[in-house]
């Protein structure tokens, strides 16, 4: 299995996703600031994976706090969490994981800071192992939407690399294969960062799941030709009404799918649902460096001086979504109700 991130010998080790597929090298963090850098610079990316990285970063930060005074420790720990929380704005898993770490400190009856530090490391490791189990569970639930011999279109990378392992959208595809179905995947390349071409294609080729790479502008044509049966994507933040933020270009895929009567599913853990946000209008959208658009593989492709837009995510309105696959079940419209129900389940 691909190891996206792990805690080993008091260090956080991540596969460097900027270098894939050419090189399989690892980025080692022994300081929480290196984890922030890794998240900002996309060494690690994908909503659940950056949540895990944030939790491990917080554990590294806690380790570096030199005080035996509990109140002092709490103040400094919360500051570190706030700093990590600013690394990227759209994926809610980042703040979800940090809140979980902060709650642990807040509610713990442990008085010794050294013991608390060990408990935080354990909590971060649990977030990782739980994420893998959640993906397997949602994969099992979601594979039912994939028919035998289906062709699935996916956008960006919602695979093992974007999570603790197994993946969300790709987890559903893996589970369909494990259930004995023949599945093939069409992967959008996902400009500008090319998560589809570099990461999804790499993962699926490794797993011997048939995958065909296309550029983003080809999806509509393939849909019209009847070559896509179902669309499954991941999510960075789901609002209480089901509106879903995911990688830029997802909205266009959803529009095309609706036009051609192709079901469009979102696969995500419940930690990606932001119950505080009523609609997608309130989801913050990250703007990234214009170089991601003007350059490909380090080579400039656009004239100097041209103005550039680079929103990293868009929001697909809930009315375009056939279902949201979570570890607690396949959520259907009306989403306000089905999403509120999973919240009550705890």
List active site positions: 236
Judged by CB under 6 A, the residue of 80, 92, 98, 235 near ligand MRU is: 235
* Cβ 328 to ligand MRU shortest distance, Å: 16
Question: Applying CB under 6 A, does 158 fall inside the site for ligand MRU?
Answer: yes
With a CB cutoff of 8 Å and minimum separation 6, the contacts of 255 are: 320
Here the tokens at position 45 are: 């990316």
Q: Is the peptide bond before 334 cis (omega within 30 degrees of 0)?
A: yes
Judged by CB under 6 A, the residue of 4, 5, 45, 262 near ligand MRU is: 45
Q: Are strands 264-267 and 323-326 parallel, antiparallel or unpaired?
A: parallel
Question: Applying CB under 6 A, does 164 fall inside the site for ligand MRU?
Answer: no
* Cβ 118 to ligand MRU shortest distance, Å: 29
Here the tokens at position 19 are: 């270098």
Site string for ligand MRU, 279-318 (x = CB under 6 A): ---------------------------------x------
- Cα angle vertex 233, ends 45, 6, to 5°? 30
Judged by CB under 6 A, the residue of 123, 236, 243, 327 near ligand MRU is: 236
Q: Among residue numbers 95 through 154, which ones bind ligand MRU (CB under 6 A)?
A: none
Closest residue by Cα to residue 206 from 168, 152, 165: 165
Q: Among residue numbers 246 through 265, which ones bind ligand MRU (CB under 6 A)?
A: 246-247
**DSSP calls for 114-153:** HHHHHHHHHHHHHHHHHHHHHHHHHHHHHGGGSPTTEEEE
Here the tokens at position 192 are: 């500008």
* Cβ 245 to ligand MRU shortest distance, Å: 8
Q: Contact, 22 vs 28, CB < 8 A?
A: no
Question: Applying CB under 6 A, does 168 fall inside the site for ligand MRU?
Answer: yes
Span of 30-38, 115-123, 233-241, 294-302 interacting with ligand MRU by CB under 6 A: 233-241
Q: Nearer Cβ to ligand MRU, position 46 or 280?
A: 46
Task: Give the binding-site size for ligand MRU (rule: CB under 6 A).
Answer: 17
Helix axes 169-178, 113-142, angle to 10 degrees: 60
Q: Nearer Cβ to ligand MRU, position 102 or 200?
A: 200
Q: Nearer Cβ to ligand MRU, position 123 or 131?
A: 131
Q: Contact, 199 vs 157, CB < 8 A?
A: yes
Residues that bind ligand MRU (CB under 6 A): 45-48, 91, 156, 158, 162-163, 168, 195, 234-236, 246-247, 312
């Amino acid at each position: 299995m691909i190891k996206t991130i792990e805690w080993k010998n008091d260090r956080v080790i991540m596969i460097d996703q900027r270098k894939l597929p050419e090189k399989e090298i690892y980025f080692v963090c022994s300081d929480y600031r290196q984890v922030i850098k890794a998240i900002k610079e996309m060494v690690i990316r994908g909503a659940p994976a950056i949540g895990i990285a944030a939790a491990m970063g917080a554990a590294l930060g806690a380790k570096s706090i030199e005080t035996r005074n509990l109140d002092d420790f709490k103040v400094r720990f919360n500051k570190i969490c706030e700093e990590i929380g600013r690394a990227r704005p759209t994926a809610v898993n980042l703040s979800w994981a940090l809140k979980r770490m902060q709650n642990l400190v807040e509610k713990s009856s442990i008085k010794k800071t050294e013991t608390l530090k060990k408990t935080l490391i354990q909590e971060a490791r649990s977030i990782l192992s739980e994420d893998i189990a959640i993906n397997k569970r949602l994969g099992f639930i979601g594979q039912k939407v994939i028919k035998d011999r289906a062709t699935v279109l996916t956008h960006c990378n919602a695979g093992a690399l974007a999570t603790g392992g197994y993946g969300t959208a790709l987890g559903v595809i893996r589970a369909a294969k494990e259930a004995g179905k023949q599945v093939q995947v069409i992967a959008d390349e996902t400009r500008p960062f090319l998560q589809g071409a570099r990461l999804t294609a790499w993962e699926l080729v490794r797993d011997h799941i048939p995958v065909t790479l296309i550029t983003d502008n080809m999806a509509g044509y393939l849909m019209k030709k009847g070559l896509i049966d179902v669309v499954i994507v991941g999510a960075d933040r789901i609002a209480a009404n089901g509106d879903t933020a995911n990688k830029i270009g997802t909205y266009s895929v959803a529009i095309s799918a609706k036009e051609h009567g192709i079901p469009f599913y979102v696969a995500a853990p419940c930690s990606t649902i932001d119950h505080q946000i009523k609609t997608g209008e309130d989801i913050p959208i990250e703007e990234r460096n214009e170089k991601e658009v003007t350059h490909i593989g380090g080579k400039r492709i656009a004239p100097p001086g041209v103005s550039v837009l680079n929103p990293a995510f868009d929001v697909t309105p809930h009315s375009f979504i056939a279902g949201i696959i979570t570890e607690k079940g396949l959520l259907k419209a009306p989403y306000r109700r089905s999403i509120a129900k999973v919240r009550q389940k705890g």
